[in-house]
A and B are shown apart, each in its own frame.
Chain A
Amino acid sequence: AQSVTQPDIHITVSEGASLELRCNYSYGATPYLFWYVQSPGQGLQLLLKYFSGDTLVQGIKGFEAEFKRSQSSFNLRKPSVHWSDAAEYFCAVGAKGTYKYIFGTGTRLKVLA
């Protein structure tokens, strides 16, 4: 079955600390992977995406993610979190040329001052 798992529903970190949000997927075809961020009352904004090539991808707002095929993972990282990063983060997977994504259930990030 095709699925995306974000095992952490909530994560709390202190401002300035590093962050890693986990994403594991199960997908039959070559996966195209995405991370979106949703701030309160807003729509989803694309942070970064991986299609092929270098398995470490850089995104907006200082985020990066690493694709590990052997672990079926696409974890999101940031070396130093800012209070404005508090939001909900969604991992998604799709196939090349697809319009249909499978979204994870999201991880809500809280940042302590």
Chain B
Amino acid sequence: DAGVIQSPRHEVTEMGQEVTLRCKPISGHNSLFWYRQTMMRGLELLIYFNNNVPIDDSGMPEDRFSAKMPNASFSTLKIQPSEPRDSAVYFCASSPGPNTQYFGPGTRLTVL
């Protein structure tokens, strides 16, 4: 099993640019999560999908952030426009059921 796959692993962009982060969950998992990790706030849940449907997006910080899951094997997290305070490590995780999550390696985003 390849595990959760995220791309890119590192992204450096300039303020105002659009950023798209990608995630491929583990095959057969029906839940997908996007997290953000920063020194100041730790690990925060941004959004949760179940069967490709967004269930809880209360953690999405503002309208500049959007997430989609067009099918069971792919999800994107988009930031538009990006700001320096968006710099963080973004993790995707997938789950076959409650109380079990498998994390990807993360995307380190730097917004200059």
Q: Name which residue of chain A comes closest to B40, CB basis.
A: A105
Is B91 touching A101 in the complex (CB atoms < 8 A)? no
List B43-75 residues whose CB lies under 8 Å from chain A: 43, 45, 48, 50, 55-56
Main secondary structure, interface of B, reads strand
Contact partner of B98 among A41, A97, A105, CB < 8 A? A97
Q: Which of B48, B102, B103 contacts A100 (CB 8 A)?
A: B48
Number of interface residues of B (CB under 8 A): 22
Given contacts A98-B99, A99-B33, A43 and B42 within 8 Å (CB-CB): no
Chain A interface, number of residues (Cβ within 8 angstroms): 22
- Knowing A99-B33, A100-B45, A103-B42, the reply to whether A43 touches B98 (Cβ < 8 A) is no
**Which of chain A's residues have a CB closer than 8 A to the CB of B93?**
43-44
Contact B99 A96 (CB under 8 A): yes
Q: Are B99 and A43 in contact (CB under 8 A)?
A: no
Judge if B4 is at the interface, Cβ distance under 8 Å: yes
* Residues of A with C-beta under 8 A to B103: 36, 43-45
State whether B42 touches A99 (Cβ < 8 A).
Answer: no
Q: Which residues of B contact A (CB under 8 A)?
A: 4, 31, 33, 42-43, 45, 48, 50, 55-56, 91, 93, 95, 98-106
